[in-house]
């Protein structure tokens, strides 16, 4: 197995150490022997009794003989799950372009909490807050809006009681209950997942690119002609296409073409209307450039066609205050340099700067979707830490009603 690179080394040995601390040990245990007391009397809750569970939901039995390294199959599975999920979490943070310090501040965590988490230890509370901030979701457990709900629903789907899960994982009942409420250590969480959801994985994030096979030309995708007709009708003639291509169907008075030596990220913009179908591999750079040129008064109106992305700091702290956002219904089919067409593998929106109410109304009459008006004042504070606190309060209220 290859382990992903991260800011802090992630190794199965380190994670296994955290896991071993989370469960009691038996003084009389010997290599090759089970640490579990065996009750020869059969009962509905007897761990040795066969379970009526679907093949894909079969549980790992802790009575299995331990390996030469002293790890049970459940230990090994928990270790594999931890290394894989934490590695993907590190990658998700890097893709979001968030330094550790910034993410720590966003979720309201203590200094070093995320580094500790990425190193293979830490709390479930921190994990949930980071997952929320990075829009990191897990699949292969069960349905549910939160990780806590997924864990509870999965156990109930398997028709297991808290007592049974505790016995099989060598965790206490209080620990299992705590995990289902969003508390505890990630070592305990991975051990629980190894038992009830051994195939847990990260939900596939929505792609912002066309696919591995199209890396060379993924930034050379052309806006559909019929869509551009709606743009012309609503906003008027395009004066500037700052990231143009010689084969692009966009009609503009001035086109900045990189292949001909132009660079829309450095060349000054001008005109009444700029249409931006930016290279999606660098969309944030182009969005910042469009905003800067519009604020400087070099262009009156800017219309950007981009994948829907709201997870960057620029959007929350700057762009949303001035932009009008139009969420497109359905997927557009873009053409490539080869002449074939393909629908986008992601949702799109229009980010408009300086658009008038008449222009927005004309566009909405031509294109399926809906406008979201810009908010002039600062929004109500809504951080991942605040949302996590709200979930905690709601959970306490729900428990008090039981």
- Looking up tokens 């590190």 gives 90
Do residues 362 and 352 lie in contact, with contact meaning Cβ atoms separated by under 8 Å?
no
CA torsion 172-173-176-182 (nearest 10°) is: -110
CA–CA separation, 373 vs 360, rounded Å? 10
Tokens at residue 275, please?
Answer: 């249409």
The domain ranges of the chain are 12-35+54-202, 212-372
The pLDDT value recorded for residue 279 is 81
Give yes or no for a contact between 392 and 384, defined as CB atoms under 8 angstroms apart: no
Q: Which residues, at least 6 apart from 130, have a Cβ–Cβ distance to it below 8 Å?
A: 89, 93, 103, 107, 114, 117, 136, 384
pLDDT at 169: 94
Q: Tell me 102's DSSP state.
A: H
The 10s digit of each residue's pLDDT in 128-165 is 999 988 888 899 999 887 899 999 999 999 999 999 99
What is the Cα–Cα distance from 93 to 75, expressed in whole angstroms? 27
pLDDT of residue 391: 65
Helix (H, G, I), strand (E, B) or coil at 394: helix
Compute the residue count for the chain. Answer: 402
Using CA atoms, how far residue 74 sits from 29, 59, 66, 82, in Å, is: 17, 9, 10, 12
Task: Specify the pLDDT at position 402.
Answer: 54
The third-level CATH classification (topology) of the domain covering 212-372 is Rossmann fold (3.40.50)
Q: Model's pTM, two decimal places? A: 0.45
The segments of the chain whose pLDDT lies below 50 read 1-68, 208, 210, 212-216, 376-381
Instruction: Collapse the DSSP code of 87 into the 3-class scheme (helix H, G, I; strand E, B; otherwise coil) and give the result.
Output: helix
């Amino acid at each position: 197995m290859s382990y992903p690179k991260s800011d802090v080394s992630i190794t199965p040995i380190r994670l296994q150490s955290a896991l071993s601390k989370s469960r009691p040990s038996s003084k009389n245990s010997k290599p090759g022997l089970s640490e579990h007391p065996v009750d020869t009397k059969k009962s509905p809750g007897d761990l040795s009794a066969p379970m009526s569970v679907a093949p894909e939901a079969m549980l790992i039995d802790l009575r299995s003989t331990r390996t030469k390294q002293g790890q049970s199959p459940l230990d090994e599975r928990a270790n594999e799950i931890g290394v894989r999920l934490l590695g993907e979490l590190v990658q998700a943070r890097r893709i979001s372009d968030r330094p550790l310090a910034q993410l720590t501040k966003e979720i309201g965590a203590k200094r070093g909490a995320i580094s500790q988490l990425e190193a293979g230890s830490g709390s479930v509370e921190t994990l949930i807050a980071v997952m929320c901030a990075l829009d990191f979701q897990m699949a292969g457990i069960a349905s549910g809006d939160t990780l806590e709900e997924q864990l509870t629903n999965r156990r109930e789907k398997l028709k297991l009681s808290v007592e049974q899960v505790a016995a099989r994982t060598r965790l206490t009942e209080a620990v299992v209950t705590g995990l289902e409420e969003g508390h505890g250590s990630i070592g305990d969480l991975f051990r629980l997942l190894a038992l009830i959801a051994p195939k847990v994985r990260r939900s596939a994030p929505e792609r912002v690119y066309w696919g591995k096979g199209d890396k060379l030309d993924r930034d050379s995708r052309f806006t559909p002609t019929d869509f551009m007709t709606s743009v012309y009708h609503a906003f008027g003639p395009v004066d500037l296409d700052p990231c143009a291509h010689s084969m692009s169907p966009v009609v503009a008075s001035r086109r900045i073409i990189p292949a001909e030596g132009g660079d829309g990220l450095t060349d000054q913009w001008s005109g009444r209307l700029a249409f931006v179908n930016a290279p999606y591999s660098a969309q944030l750079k182009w969005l910042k450039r469009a905003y800067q040129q519009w604020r400087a008064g070099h262009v009156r109106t800017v219309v950007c066609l981009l994948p829907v992305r709201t997870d960057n700091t620029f959007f929350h702290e700057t762009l949303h205050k001035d932009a009008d956002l139009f969420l497109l219904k359905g997927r557009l089919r873009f053409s490539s340099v080869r002449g074939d067409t393909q629908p986008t593998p992601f949702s799109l929106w229009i980010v408009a700067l300086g658009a008038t109410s008449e222009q927005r109304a004309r566009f909405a009459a031509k294109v399926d979707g809906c406008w979201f008006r810009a908010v002039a004042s600062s929004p109500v504070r809504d951080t991942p830490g605040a949302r996590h606190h709200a979930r905690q309060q709601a959970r306490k209220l729900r428990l008090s009603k039981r």
